Structure formats: C-alpha cells, structure tokens
A and B are shown apart, each in its own frame.
Chain A
Amino acid sequence: MEKSSNVFRGEFLPYIIKWGRGTNLLGVILVFGPCIYLGLKGIWPDSGAFIAALTLQLPLSASAYIREPISYFAMLGVPGTYMAFLSGNISNLRVPCASIATKSAGIEEGTDQGTITGTIGCAVSTFVSAIFLTVGVIAGASVLEAMPPIVTAALNLLLPALFSSLMANYAFSKPKLAAIVIPACFIIYFAQLQGVFNVLPSIIASAIPPLICAFGAMGLGVAMAKKGK
C-alpha cells in the first residue's frame, strides 16, 4: 500500500502537474489563435466596444473561475481538473465520465486508484466529444437544422436525467449524507428563487448557493466519516 502511494505521489502526480500546468498555460496562448489571425488581417475590435462587453461579461464569469474548480475538484482529482478546465463541458461530460469510469471499474472515487480510472474516463470523453464536434461542424448547420424541434428539445432533457442519475449514484454510496444534503439543496435553491441571497453583492449572489451546497455537503461528509458513520 505504502509502495503504491509512493508511485502515485512520487511518480504519477508530479508528471501530471508538470505537464498539466505546461499544457494549460500553452492553451492560454493558443486559444487566442483566431484573434491573432483576425489581427494579422487588420481586423481588430473597437477598444470601447471591447471594454464595454468585457465589463458586462467578466463579472458573470468571474465567480465561476473559483467556484467551479473547487466544487468539482473532489470528483475530478488533479489530472481531471487540468483536463476538464482546458476542454470544458465540465458538469455535462468530464465529471460524469470520470465518475462512471471509476464506478464501472469497481473502484472508490477519490482514492489514488480512482484517480487513475477517472483520468482514463475524462480523457476518453474528451476524444468522444471532440469527434462529435468535428463531425457536427463539418456536417454543417444544414444537417443539424434538419432535426425536428422536438428532437432538439428532447435531447436537452438528457441533462437533467444525467445530473439526477449521478446524484443517485453518490446518494446510494452515502445514503445518510444524501438524506440530509438533497433536501437541503432544494431548500437552498428555493431560498435563492425567493431572493434571500439578493442581500449579497450581485457579483457573488449567484455563486454562494451552489458553493454552500457543495462545500456544506463535503464538510458534512468528512465529519460523518470521521465519526465512523
């Protein structure tokens, strides 16, 4: 056990951190590719329009920069966090696939072994979504638009079922914790709808309720585990 932990912490994680940090930082540069291309052709945004749009958009995204990585970290682990926050589609693809991969291998999530299977699950989902997106973009809008509206609307219903089936998996593994946390999540979201959190500054008002749910549940889970429940 000691040896496997040494291999994981002494060999696997340092490699992942070195390459994860490097590739993500390279991603920060490469993602500007189209902007640079347009610039080379002499097409630049108007600075006033850029600042105006940035002022509108940045506050909407900024709280998610912090909230999402820490909320999903426990499920993704270090390699999954690098991959998920470079490739996106985190809650609908990366987290579910990391989780399903680990569960199907019969391994507990959060363990060193679970991080290995989670990494494989996350990577496979990256390949699959990239293939679908590439085929989709080549097939073009005409094919996609030919789908009847009912099909598109129905496809969107996959997501609530995906979220709830993942919740079911976690709840099944920790039923006592889930019996407290799930009703609490509903109450917190209901309170949010009632405007209870509007007393907070608007930039954090929408980020606080999901953070309470995720962190509250993690804290409660750890406290219950330490008490042997």
Chain B
Amino acid sequence: MHRLAAIILKEFNQIKRDKRTLLLLIFFPAFLLLIFGYAIDFDVKNVEIGVLDLDNSKESREFIEKFTLYDHFILKYHLNTFKEIDYYLDSGLATLCIVIPEDFSDELKQGDNVSIQIIIDGTNSNVGMTVLGNLRAYITDYSNNLSANALKKVGIHKEPVPVELIPRVWYNQELKSAKFLIPGLIGFIMMIVCVITTALSIVREKERFTIEQISVSPIRPHELIIGKTFPYMIISLITMILIIILGIILFDVTIKGNLIYLFVTSLVFIIGALGLGMMISAITDSQQVAFMVSIIVTMLPSIILSGFIFPLNSMPKIIQFISYIVPLRYYLVILRSIILKGSGLISFWDQLIYLTIFSSIMIIVSSIKLKKIL
C-alpha cells in the first residue's frame, strides 16, 4: 500500500509541476470540442439560390416567395438570362438555380402539368442530395395544395394524397449534427488523452533512466502499473466531465440516460485506452516515437473507423470488418445510447462485453510486456 501510494503521489506531483501538459490536457479537449462542434455540421442550411423567373406573374412570385419561408433556402439572386446561371453556379455564389418557364401561370390556370427546371451544384454530394430532398418535399407540398384547391372548386372535399408521411424524429429531435457528434467526440478525446499521457509518462522514465532505479526496488509490477495509470484515469474522468459540461453549455446536449452507466462504461473504456498507452510505452524508447505511435494508433482509426463521423453501415464489408478492432466503435454505441437515447443496459450490453474484452486484453498484454522491461 505504501509503495502504491508513493507512486501515485509522485505522479501527481510531476503532473502538477508540468504546467504545460496540464493546460494541454484541459484545453486541448475544449479546443477539439469547439472545432468539431462548430465546424463539422452536416446540416444543410442557408443554401443560397438564384431564380430566373421568365414568367414574372403573380403565381410565379408567390411560388418563389414560399421558398423563403424555409430556413433551408435564401433567395439571393434574381437572374435575367440563362448565361447568368452558368456564372452563379461556376463561381459558387449560388448552390441552386431555379428556372420558371414563361408559361408557368398560364399552364397552371389551364390545369396542365408544369415543369420547373432546377440546376444543383453537385460538387458536394452530401449538400446536393439534401437540397434535392428538401426541394422535392417543398414542391410536392405545393402541388398537393394546388390539387386540393382545384378539387374543392369542383366540390370534392377529399384528402388529395392517398399515403401521407407523418415523421417523428426521436432522440435528436431537431436533427442537429452537433448533438450527434458530441458523444463521439467525448470518446475520441478520451482515447487520445489516455493513450498519449500514459505512453509518455512511462517512456519518460525510460528516457531518464529512473525506470532502472524503480526496477531495483522491491516494487511489484502491478503496483507500478496501477500507480502510474491511476492518476491519468482520474484526469481522463475530469476531462470527460469537462467536455460534457461544455457540450451542455454550448450545444444544448442533455444526458438522457443514467449517469452511473455512463461512469462505469467510461471507466471500462478508459482502462482499455490506458492499457494501449502502456503497450506503446513498452515497445518504444523515446517520447517522440511514443507520441507519434500514439497519434497514429488513436487518431485515424477513431475518426474514420469508429462511426464517429462516417456511418459504418455504408462502408465496404472488409472495412467494416477492420473496424471491429477499434475500441471507440463499441464505446460510441454505448455513449450514444446513454446520452442521446437515454436507453439502458439492454441496448448496449453486447457492446459493453466487446469493450470489456478489449480492455482486458490490453491490460494483460501490456502488463506482460512491461514486466519484461522492469
């Protein structure tokens, strides 16, 4: 007990003295949160559109005006010639151009089918798809209203649409991507912080040869391992709480689920990440190399292969298969279940088992590896 306490105390003293790292541990996550929270936004809003109204009638103006009632679109440019469409799309000033034909109002009055031309900048496929979807919905709505009115005129008061869609969005009602990203961000930041701090703290002892002095003492390997990782576990938990508080303040995140579940599952994940950090420290000899390896092992897979940003379901089978070795994948499902859905153990017990397996393997293998250098 005395030996374990001595190591923990020493580790905290060193952390306390290393102000730069301490600040980094606190501000780096906050910084990432701001960057990811504000910059990564899959919501397509404020699409600037140009309109070439060849009809210039009461009906066409009404049609256009209705666009602006949606906050998806901003009517920015009134065009006069087809040439101008090329210019506005090429220069990126407008994402979308609408052409209303000369006979728009006449055809409508006669009850004929009217065609409207829409030209979308498809460079960003995501934005293009979303805009197209929004437009379809808007125009269907508009047409249905017209048909209903027309039917009313002839005395038929019937629902014009046989099948109607009544959408209810659960969990993230406003469909905000920031809310979806925050649980992932918590996992992502914890992964990086845990792995790097642990790896560096042990490699630093190797670099300065203090590890030799420790290995001459009668300290047991498990005491050293627990003593060295415990302080970083505490720091990681503080970091997590900090991110959550920032998420609540800045992005209206609410934790719908049980805080105890959140705490326990996070602990399992943190232990696994600390184990990974120890593993890196066992196989590297300098802080620089350990840092590089930690970044490569944590950053890329956690961003790309965990479902943090890109949905795993739409990836090729082989890549989905590789993603099973990325621990964040499991933790993410758990975090999203608890924070966004507020669901219980029933919805993530399998993920928790995988995560526990991962953490156990990490701790066992890294302990064996570290024992060899002690």
Query: Does A associate with B in a complex?
Result: no
Show the binding face of A for B, using Cβ within 8 Å.
none
